[in-house]
């Protein structure tokens, strides 16, 4: 699922969460791949949703894969909160 927003912040998080719920239902156990190619920035609310999503996917046996998290602001946020392990990332 390609994320269309340039920023994944508090204003976008509700609609993003609803999209994720629909996507999980449609995938029926196949891996959920989140493509951050367009995203330049994420905030704490987005991180909370991603951590929650990771735990949910693990609980239902679904793989969650993050790709194209190349933005320096995204990498800085992930490193600041030491989230590589929690999200299963290798940046």
- Determine contact, residues 40/77, Cβ cutoff 8 Å: no
- Determine contact, residues 16/5, Cβ cutoff 8 Å: yes
CA 76 to the chain's CA centroid: 15
pLDDT score at 91: 52
Q: Tell me: the pLDDT tens digits for 56-66?
A: 999 999 999 99
Lowest-confidence range among 12-16, 37-41, 47-51?
12-16
Neighbours of 66 (CB within 10 A): 19
Which are the contacts of 12, defined by CB distance < 8 A and separation ≥ 6? Answer: 5, 46
pTM of the predicted protein model: 0.83
pLDDT band of 84, cuts 50, 70, 90: confident
Averaged pLDDT, 20-37: 90
Averaged pLDDT, 59-79: 92
Q: Cα–Cα distance between 5 and 62 in angstroms, integer? A: 24
């Amino acid at each position: 699922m390609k994320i269309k927003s340039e920023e994944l912040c508090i204003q976008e998080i509700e609609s993003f969460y609803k999209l994720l719920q629909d996507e999980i239902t449609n995938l029926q156990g196949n891996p959920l791949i989140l493509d951050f190619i367009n995203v330049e920035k994420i905030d704490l609310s987005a991180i909370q949703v991603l951590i929650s999503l990771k735990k949910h996917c693990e609980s239902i046996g679904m793989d969650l894969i993050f790709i194209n998290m190349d933005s320096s602001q995204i990498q800085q946020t992930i490193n600041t909160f030491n989230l590589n392990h929690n999200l299963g990332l290798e940046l």
